[in-house]
């Protein structure tokens, strides 16, 4: 998106009650900075400026972002192939980027069902790309906030897509580091309480453990752009899985999480700044 392009988006069919949405293009937004770092085009000058500042001080940050996205692909593949998951609730979806989660899940079983949730209007504006389900399956997009699950758990789009009496994978990929413990731990527990036995939590979270200097660059540039981040230690990330059975290989840096499941470039620990893990609700 070039500088000066429209600051308002018309919403896709089905969202006519709110025909226009303020994208606040003058401010950097996490979804759009992430899109820029991944090489996407759904971003504005403020997003690119924030991304360029991170890149200037940490040229490898684009590789780290690609690695953060790639682990989502691998986690989805393992959930579908090894654990037989056919229902996914993906919160903090981000701007669509091929392949999206449902495309990976439906490669394993076209009947897979996915509900996407995000609170950024630009993700809503582009959500049509997330609704390209295989005919045997189903996808839905719901505007919602992870910090307030009641706001989306009873949304018709969710209720018509997921059967909450059967196992669901709750996927929280690259989102919890935008929230404090006070804001996020209660809602994650509430969601896990709603899901039946045999459901999964797949989560990645930013950390400074592996690359403290790079983490300092990223957090301070984000802060300058008005975005607070909360990086977590290994022990703090593991706490999200309390009461769950941790899947192999446990909570590990993203580059170490089943790298055999795709052909992403092998990265050293100091090149990434996130942990990944999957847990099963007993």
Ligand X SMILES: C[S@@+](CC[C@H](N)C(=O)[O-])C[C@H]1O[C@@H](n2cnc3c(N)ncnc32)[C@H](O)[C@@H]1O
In terms of CB distance, is 35 or 271 closer to ligand X?
35
As measured in angstroms, the least distance from the Cβ of 87 to ligand X is 17
What is the C-alpha to C-alpha distance for residues 272 and 205, in angstroms, rounded to an integer? 11
CA distances from 195 to 2, 94, 142, 186, 191 (A): 42, 23, 18, 15, 6
What is the C-alpha to C-alpha distance for residues 116 and 70, in angstroms, rounded to an integer? 18
* Phi-psi map region of 18: left, alpha, beta (phi>0 left; psi -120 to 50 alpha): beta
Chain-centre distance for alpha carbon 248: 21
Chain-centre distance for alpha carbon 19: 26
As measured in angstroms, the least distance from the Cβ of 135 to ligand X is 25
For ligand X, the nearest residue by Cβ is 94
- The contacts of residue 100 (CB under 8 Å, 6+ apart) are 93, 129, 130
As measured in angstroms, the least distance from the Cβ of 282 to ligand X is 26
In terms of CB distance, is 94 or 277 closer to ligand X?
94
Backbone angles phi, psi at 143, to 5 degrees: -75, 125
Question: In this structure, are residues 239 and 208 in contact, taking their beta carbons and an 8 Å threshold?
Answer: no
- Give residues in contact with ligand X (CB under 6 A): 30-31, 34, 69, 72, 91-94, 118-120, 123, 145-147, 173-175, 178
Site of tokens 């200037």: 56
User: Dihedral sign, CA of 62, 64, 239, 249?
Assistant: positive
In terms of CB distance, is 128 or 166 closer to ligand X?
128
Question: In this structure, are residues 50 and 237 in contact, taking their beta carbons and an 8 Å threshold?
Answer: no
User: Running DSSP on this structure, what letter comes out for residue 271?
Assistant: G
As measured in angstroms, the least distance from the Cβ of 28 to ligand X is 12
As measured in angstroms, the least distance from the Cβ of 33 to ligand X is 8
- Beta strands 245-246 and 200-206 are unpaired
In terms of CB distance, is 175 or 215 closer to ligand X?
175
As measured in angstroms, the least distance from the Cβ of 178 to ligand X is 5
As measured in angstroms, the least distance from the Cβ of 198 to ligand X is 23
In terms of CB distance, is 104 or 123 closer to ligand X?
123
In terms of CB distance, is 103 or 120 closer to ligand X?
120
In terms of CB distance, is 20 or 180 closer to ligand X?
180
């Amino acid at each position: 998106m070039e500088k000066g392009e429209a600051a308002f988006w018309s919403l896709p069919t089905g969202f006519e009650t709110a025909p226009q949405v303020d994208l606040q293009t003058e401010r950097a937004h996490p979804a759009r900075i992430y899109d820029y770092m991944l090489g996407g085009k759904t971003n504005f000058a403020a997003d690119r400026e924030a991304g360029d500042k991170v890149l200037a001080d940490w040229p490898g940050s684009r590789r780290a972002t690609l690695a953060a996205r790639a682990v989502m692909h691998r986690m989805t593949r393992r959930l579908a192939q090894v654990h037989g998951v056919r229902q996914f609730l993906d919160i903090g979806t981000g701007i669509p980027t091929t392949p999206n989660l449902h495309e990976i899940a439906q490669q394993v079983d076209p009947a897979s069902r996915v509900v996407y949730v995000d609170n950024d209007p630009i993700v809503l504006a582009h959500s049509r790309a997330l609704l390209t389900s295989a005919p045997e399956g189903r996808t839905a997009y719901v505007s919602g906030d992870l910090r307030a699950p009641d706001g989306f758990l009873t949304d018709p789009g969710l209720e018509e897509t997921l059967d909450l009496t059967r196992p669901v994978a709750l996927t929280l990929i690259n989102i919890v580091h935008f929230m404090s413990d006070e804001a996020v731990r209660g809602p994650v527990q509430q969601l896990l309480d709603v899901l039946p036995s045999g459901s999964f939590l797949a989560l990645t979270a930013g950390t400074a453990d592996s690359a403290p200097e790079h983490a300092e660059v990223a957090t301070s540039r984000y802060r300058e752009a008005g975005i607070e981040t909360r990086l977590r230690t290994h022990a703090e990330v593991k706490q999200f899985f309390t009461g769950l059975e941790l899947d192999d290989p446990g909570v590990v840096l993203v580059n170490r999480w089943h790298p055999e499941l795709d052909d992403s470039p092998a990265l050293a620990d100091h090149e990434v700044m996130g942990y990944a893990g999957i847990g099963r609700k007993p």
